[in-house]
Amino acid sequence: MSHELPPRRSGATRTRLLSVIGVVGVGAVAGGLLLWHAQVGEVLGLGADKEPVVSTVGAPAIGGPPTTTRLVSPTPSRRTTTRTTPTTPPKTTTTPSKKPTKKPTPVSREESIDGLSPKLKSRLTKAIAAAKADGVRISITSGRRSAAKQQRLLNEAIKKYGSYKLATRWVLPPKYSAHVQGKAVDIGPAAAMTWLNKNGWRYGVCRRYDNEPWHFEALTTPGKKCPPREPHAVAKAD
């Protein structure tokens, strides 16, 4: 049997084959470097603001089809932004405390100068203002009275003193009472009685009875001295 050896290749053929192998090897190495560079860029977030890197897949063969390429877009770096939401403090509503308003005690008609005769009312108004300027407050404890109230007061006085005669020294019957006519006032406190007894003549207001330091009437002309006081009231029927 004869053994034929393959024909030996010429030097030109070996040179061409080595060239092809060299080109393929260089292309593979270059492609691998580009692909590795792109992957490292994706991992590290590099090149986010640069153009996409072109990666060559495979090496072009001599006389073969065009090399297939793909675009590798660099992955932009992810920046974590922490949004701080402003915290609105809760609104606190303060309700003002309401202090109870104390209503003034209404003054009865009898405890005012209403209903008095115009002459006594005018004179007493001036006297009250003058006393206030001196630091003295004059209060009206009883002014004009109704006939019914005057009669009730007389009945109580009769029970207290035991007789009509003794009672009328303090409380007159309605038809004789200056209170029912609006011509008399009872005042208080004691300081006011003292002040008006001393200065009332200047305004035409005088104390009438010795036993009632609180009872005043318009008994003189303003600026003239008051007439002598009476010991007590006397009912004209006696």
11-35 mean pLDDT = 54
> What distances in angstroms separate CA 16 from CA 8, 28, 29, 225, one per listed residue?
15, 18, 20, 159
180-195 mean pLDDT = 97
201-218 mean pLDDT = 98
**In a domain? residue 51:** no
151-160 mean pLDDT = 97
pLDDT tops 80 at residue 121: yes
Q: What's the number of domains the chain is made of? A: 1
Give the residue, 63 or 162, on which the prediction is more confident: 162
- Using CA atoms, how far apart are residues 131 and 198, in angstroms rounded to an integer? 11
**Residue 155: φ, ψ to 5°:** -60, -40
- Token pair, residue 219, equals 């008994």
- Rounded to the nearest 10°, the torsion over CA 153, 157, 158, 159 is 110
Nearest partner of 145 among 102, 181, 193, judged by Cα:
181
Q: Note the pLDDT of residue 171.
A: 97
**In a domain? residue 142:** yes
Indicate the pLDDT class of residue 48, thresholds 50, 70 and 90. very low
The parent domain of residue 140 ranges over 109-190
**In a domain? residue 131:** yes
What does the longest C-alpha to C-alpha distance in the chain come to? 193
- Give the three-state DSSP class for 23: helix
pLDDT tops 50 at residue 150: yes
Q: Note the pLDDT of residue 185.
A: 97
**In a domain? residue 180:** yes
- The β-bridge partners of 54 are 71
- Using CA atoms, how far apart are residues 108 and 143, in angstroms rounded to an integer? 10
Q: Note the pLDDT of residue 156.
A: 97
**In a domain? residue 123:** yes
- Using CA atoms, how far apart are residues 108 and 104, in angstroms rounded to an integer? 12
CB distance 90 to 117 below 8 Å: no
Indicate the pLDDT class of residue 130, thresholds 50, 70 and 90. very high
What is the CATH classification number for the domain harbouring 128?
3.30.1380.10
**In a domain? residue 26:** no
Note the pTM of the prediction, 2 decimals. 0.56
Location of structure tokens 């038809």: 175
**In a domain? residue 177:** yes
pLDDT in tens, 71-87: 445 555 555 555 655 56
